[in-house]
């Protein structure tokens, strides 16, 4: 089962009027595309003949362009270095219709460079400063956050464990969002240990959900869905929980109870880079526009199904999503 075409159209129509604020670890994704036909005489490594370079938004910036790609208005708050990569990332966001608001700090823009050989990723090269260079100081950025939250319908906290989000910041944003009756969601990274409570949605993957729950199943044992959902509700009191299960789809939970698992909507999978960002964007947009959790999950699942059929970090347009839904079995 997938979302009916009529419901997808209705959701997209409502989404077009939404204003979404994304806060988190913004990055620049750099792709080097080439071919390898020989081994270097200097070392047993392939020699890459570079054909072209491409750049797109990554991390929280990818969440933002996915939100904008589906038709909503989007603003992203994060650290942009005063370097060429920061300028390039701002330009990409602007071209996608996303307003970028920079927070004070020192350091280089985070860049992830992927070397692609015959459409396969050979390696990844990361450029970044020490994590705390990117931290948003709630004191220095308090007025900026307050204005941005007041102007939006929903807040998305996108954590890539690079240091932009802190426990203090999440607490302040949650308080402001609650005061303004705004929907608030978090894509958490357990290795960045951080307390949070009372959010409307969290979207960990299977491994992250186990870490957040403090559960380590025996090797080869099935995913302990009931125990994980109950523990996460007890610890974090989140209204809705969606655990992304990769090729197994999405696990939906509310009030600590397992509601159901919906299968993946992907027909072809070329690259899963950024698929979680697409799912997060789709879930937040659908839930904020009034959809129930299951309908929102089917909507987000369809959006991710389009994205994983593309190479590189990608987004989905309303037209692509409707075409995908219309061809669903």
Paired tokens of 215: 């559960």
Residues 322, 287: Cα–Cα separation, whole Å: 18
Given the residues 126, 187, 277, 323, the one annotated as active site: 277
Residue 131: count other Cβ atoms within 10 Å of its Cβ. Answer: 14
Give the β-pairing of 98-102 and 240-244: unpaired
Residues 94, 308: Cα–Cα separation, whole Å: 24
Which of 180, 165, 112 is closest to 135 using CA atoms? 165
Residues 5, 324: Cα–Cα separation, whole Å: 9
Residues 6 or more apart whose Cβ sits within 8 Å of residue 56: 28, 29, 31, 62, 65, 92, 312, 313, 314
Using CA atoms, how far residue 161 sits from 192, 222, 256, 268, in Å, is 5, 27, 26, 30
User: Given strand 111-117, what is the order of strands in its sheet?
Assistant: 46-59, 26-39, 111-117, 120-127
Q: In sequence order, what are the beta bridge partners of 98?
A: 74
Residue 277 bears catalytic tag: yes
Backbone angles phi, psi at 124, to 5 degrees: -130, 135
Which positions are annotated as active-site residues? 277
């Amino acid at each position: 089962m997938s979302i009916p075409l009529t419901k997808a159209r209705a959701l997209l129509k409502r989404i077009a009027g939404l204003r979404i604020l994304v806060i988190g670890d913004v990055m620049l994704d750099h792709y080097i595309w080439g071919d390898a036909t020989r081994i270097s005489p200097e070392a047993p490594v392939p020699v890459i003949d570079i054909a072209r370079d491409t750049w797109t938004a990554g991390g929280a910036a990818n969440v933002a362009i996915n939100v904008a790609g589906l038709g909503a208005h989007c603003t992203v708050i994060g650290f942009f270095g005063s370097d060429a990569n920061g300028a390039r990332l701002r330009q990409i966001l602007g071209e996608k219709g996303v307003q970028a608001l920079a927070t004070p700090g020192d350091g280089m823009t985070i860049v992830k460079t992927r070397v692609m050989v015959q459409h396969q990723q050979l390696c990844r090269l990361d450029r970044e400063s020490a994590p705390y260079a990117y931290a948003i100081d709630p004191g220095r950025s308090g007025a900026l956050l307050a204005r941005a939250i007041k102007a939006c319908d929903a807040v998305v906290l996108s954590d890539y464990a690079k240091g932009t989000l802190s426990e203090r910041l999440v607490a302040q944003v949650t308080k402001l969002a609650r005061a303004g009756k705004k929907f608030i969601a978090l894509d958490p990274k357990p290795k960045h240990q951080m307390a949070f409570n009372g959010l409307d949605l969290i979207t960990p993957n299977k491994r992250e959900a186990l870490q957040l729950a403090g559960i380590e199943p025996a090797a080869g044992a099935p995913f302990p869905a009931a125990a994980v959902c109950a523990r996460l509700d007890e610890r974090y009191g989140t209204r809705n929980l969606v655990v992304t299960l990769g090729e197994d789809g999405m696990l939906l939970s509310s009030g600590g109870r397992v509601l159901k698992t919906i299968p993946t909507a992907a027909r072809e999978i070329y690259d899963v880079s950024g698929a979680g960002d697409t799912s997060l964007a789709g879930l937040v947009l659908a839930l904020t526009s009034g959809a129930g959790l299951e309908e929102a999950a089917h909507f987000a699942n369809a959006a991710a199904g389009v994205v994983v059929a593309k190479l590189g970090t990608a987004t989905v347009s309303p037209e692509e999503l409707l075409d995908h839904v219309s061809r669903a079995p």
